[in-house]
Amino acid sequence: MSTAQQSSTSTKTITGADILIGALVRNGGDTIFAYPGGASMPLHQALTRRKDQIRTILPRHEQGGGFAAQGYSRTTDNVGLCMATSGPGATNLVTTIADAKMDSVPLIAITGQVPQAVIGTDAFQETPIVEICRAVTKHYYMITAEDHTDPASVREALESIPRIVREAYFVAKSGRPGPVLIDFPKNIQLASMPEDEIDYDPAMKLPGYRPLQRKVAPEQIRQAIAAIRRSRKPILYVGGGVINADAAEELTAFALKTGIPVTTTVMGIGAFPGDHEQSLHMLGMHGTVYANKAIDEADLLLALGVRFDDRVTGKLDEFALHGKIIHVDIDASEIHKNKEAHIPVVADVKDFLVALNTALSQDDCPQIDEWRTQCSDWKEKFPLKHTQSDEFIYPQEAIQELWRQTKDLDTYVAVGVGQHQMWAAQYYKFSKPKRWLSSSGLGTMGFGLPAAMGVAAAHPDALVIDIDGDGSVMMNIQELATLFCEKLNVKVFLLNNQHLGMVMQWEDRFMEGNRAHTYLGHIDDKMATGDGDGTFGETFPNFVKMAESMGVGSQQVSKKDELPAAIEKMIKYDGPYLLEMICPYQEHVLPMIPGGGTVRDIITE
């Protein structure tokens, strides 16, 4: 297996595993979330030899490691790294990879693979992970020798590793970002070559991949400005592309100069300050009434880094019915995919906004005083509403209180998926990009805790909060152990209503309240069939004990007047912490436009 036998004994040799880890370090890798196994042990051995340069964090499940890597990616300019062994380790990463693809998150996933000699024989822990992941990665590699019995061929494979890693970084981050998979058979990990003969700065070999060549044409800027100048009811519809392009500053400058109201998608939250009067907050299925009304009446849509997702548009034919659409996206396939654009611009949205801001004169700013007044009126007339109580902790109020106490602390907030996610999107007002982490496209429950873990690894001194639900948090609850063992300071803000709230809400609205496996307590409880009296005594499971057992500080509260002090205690606690709030389960996320509906179908009560 070794190709170094023939070289002189004085030359130091290096293994394939060491070459790969060395290449990660040279490309900026400083943290990796990796769970070892038979086919990735040489890589872990190599990681110990570079522990001064790259921190290895051991998650308690590969999926947790993958989401942690996403948490790292989503809040830095670097690329998140995760690693797993072959077979089940690799398949446990699939959800993370698919999630990163949907939300355009740069990610490099490395999987160990059985030795080439047994590939294709259904060997122990063998899965064809490249085959499995093809549709959910942006790109993929398998580091193999053309003939694994030929030392020259193995040597070639070893020499290709630095190029592959460099390309993986470039592909993951450039253009529309996304996940890249590197599958690494064990025989190449173990093979070696003279250390001084390895070229760590090889040329990339990606013919036809030209993500940097998209340039904004002056003609497109002229067209856009003409449309803006003529508009009387323009609106900025902003998505994750603006955050990925690092263009929040340019967007804000443009919005402030023109006075055009801004609404964001779930992925776009933070691109424009949520507490600014021009912000109409989130649009779409659980967006604000005023954002959805404004989109409906707008005569010009500046759609920046968005993809007209069905959770945003509802009924496509009636979405932005009166509006001309300027659609800017770096991914050409998003233009005209769901909605025909009048002015399509395939470009980096930052380049577009820089060019637009430069070219836009004061005279080009549209006359929109009436429109702005209209939007403010809607905002006043249709604010976000929820049930008020002096006694119970309503999730919306809990999040508002959390926001009040943390808004000046440059806080990072990750969420799971479900009602709590939408309430966090509605009630926590973000003033900066890359502070909000949500599995938005794939909607993966269990995202919040591990994602927050990755943020804490990237920003050890920051306040990192996982707003979670009792259903979602259970999907990766094992990562509480990682928080303690790896000294990752995450605060879990757990809204416990004992139900899978979002599904329950649909049952209540569209299925006559028939409870179909949405109660999270014992099946013998009356609540399981929806026949309870609306209250619950002791909740299940005991999250406080669970946190304690994993070295995480914790408290449970159920009275509204206990909440402010409990939040303060959580923030001040030295180390990972879980604050569990018992919430009424009857609350629905509103407003709500039923799937495939329009703003005229909006439910507010």
Partner 1 sequence: MKHVLSAVVVNQPGVLAHVSGMMASRAFNIESLAVGETENPEFSRITFVVSGDEKVLDQIRKQLEKIVTIVRVIDFSGKEFVERDLMLMKVAASGSNRSEVKELVDIFRGSLVDVSPGHVMIEISGPEKKLEAFIDLMRPFDILELVRTGRIALLRSNEENVDVDERAACEDPTAAC
Active site residues: 62, 124-125, 186, 502
In the list 88, 120, 134, 596, the residue contacting partner 1 (rule: CB under 8 A) is: 134
CB of 78 to partner 1, least distance (A): 18
Taking the alpha carbons at both ends of the chain, their separation in whole angstroms is 69
| Residue among 299 and 309 whose Cβ is closer to partner 1 | 309
Contact call for residue 131 and partner 1 (CB under 8 A): yes
- 204, 216, 328 from 213: Cα distances, Å: 16, 10, 15
Contacts (Cβ under 8 Å, ≥6 apart) of 182:
20, 108, 109, 110, 111, 140, 141, 142, 143, 164, 165, 168
Specify whether the CB–CB gap between 148 and 156 falls below 8 A.
no
Site for partner 1 in 337-396 (CB under 8 A): 337
CB of 259 to partner 1, least distance (A): 35
In the list 210, 222, 342, 600, the residue contacting partner 1 (rule: CB under 8 A) is: 210
Check residue 203 and report its DSSP letter.
P
Contact call for residue 204 and partner 1 (CB under 8 A): yes
Counting DSSP H helices and E strands in the chain, the numbers are 23, 20
| Residue among 330 and 583 whose Cβ is closer to partner 1 | 330
Report the C-alpha gap between 32 and 29 in whole angstroms.
Answer: 7
Give me the half-sphere count of Cα atoms (radius 13 Å) on the Cβ side of residue 185.
24
Report the C-alpha gap between 510 and 508 in whole angstroms.
Answer: 6
Contact call for residue 216 and partner 1 (CB under 8 A): no
In the list 6, 199, 203, 535, the residue contacting partner 1 (rule: CB under 8 A) is: 203
In the list 28, 152, 205, 509, the residue contacting partner 1 (rule: CB under 8 A) is: 205
Contact call for residue 331 and partner 1 (CB under 8 A): yes
| Residue among 338 and 542 whose Cβ is closer to partner 1 | 338
Residue with tokens 């989130």: 282
State which H helix or E strand residue 552 sits in: none
Report which residue type is found at 334: E
CB of 177 to partner 1, least distance (A): 13
Contact call for residue 511 and partner 1 (CB under 8 A): no
Phi (first) and psi of residue 111, to 5 degrees: -125, 135
Is the peptide bond preceding residue 234 cis, with omega within 30 degrees of 0? Answer: no
Contact call for residue 208 and partner 1 (CB under 8 A): yes
Give the binding range for partner 1 (CB under 8 A) out of 127-135, 232-240, 358-366, 529-537. 127-135
Q: By rule CB under 8 A, what count of residues binds partner 1?
A: 27
- b/e code 381-402 from CB counts within 10 Å (16+ = b): ebebebeeeeebbbbbbbbbbb
Contact call for residue 129 and partner 1 (CB under 8 A): no
| Residue among 170 and 394 whose Cβ is closer to partner 1 | 170
Contact call for residue 404 and partner 1 (CB under 8 A): no
Lay out the site mask for partner 1 across 138-177 (x = CB under 8 A, - = otherwise): xxx-x---------------------------xx--x---
- b/e code 327-352 from CB counts within 10 Å (16+ = b): bbbbbeebbeeebebebbbbbbbbbb
CB of 204 to partner 1, least distance (A): 5
Contact call for residue 130 and partner 1 (CB under 8 A): yes
Give the binding range for partner 1 (CB under 8 A) out of 130-138, 193-201, 298-306, 489-497. 130-138
Give the binding range for partner 1 (CB under 8 A) out of 203-211, 226-234, 430-438, 459-467. 203-211
Phi (first) and psi of residue 92, to 5 degrees: -65, -15
CB of 495 to partner 1, least distance (A): 36
Specify whether the CB–CB gap between 59 and 482 falls below 8 A.
yes
| Residue among 140 and 290 whose Cβ is closer to partner 1 | 140
CB of 231 to partner 1, least distance (A): 27
CB of 356 to partner 1, least distance (A): 24
Specify whether the CB–CB gap between 455 and 462 falls below 8 A.
yes
Nearest to 106 by CA among 10, 22, 13, 211: 211
**H helices present in 245-288, as ranges:** 248-258
CB of 176 to partner 1, least distance (A): 8
Does the CA dihedral 146-148-149-153 come out positive or negative?
positive
Report the C-alpha gap between 494 and 497 in whole angstroms.
Answer: 10
CB of 123 to partner 1, least distance (A): 19
Contact call for residue 212 and partner 1 (CB under 8 A): yes
Contact call for residue 211 and partner 1 (CB under 8 A): yes
Contact call for residue 534 and partner 1 (CB under 8 A): no
Contact call for residue 201 and partner 1 (CB under 8 A): no
Q: What is the binding site for partner 1 (CB under 8 A)?
A: 130-131, 134-135, 138-140, 142, 170-171, 174, 203-212, 331-333, 335-337
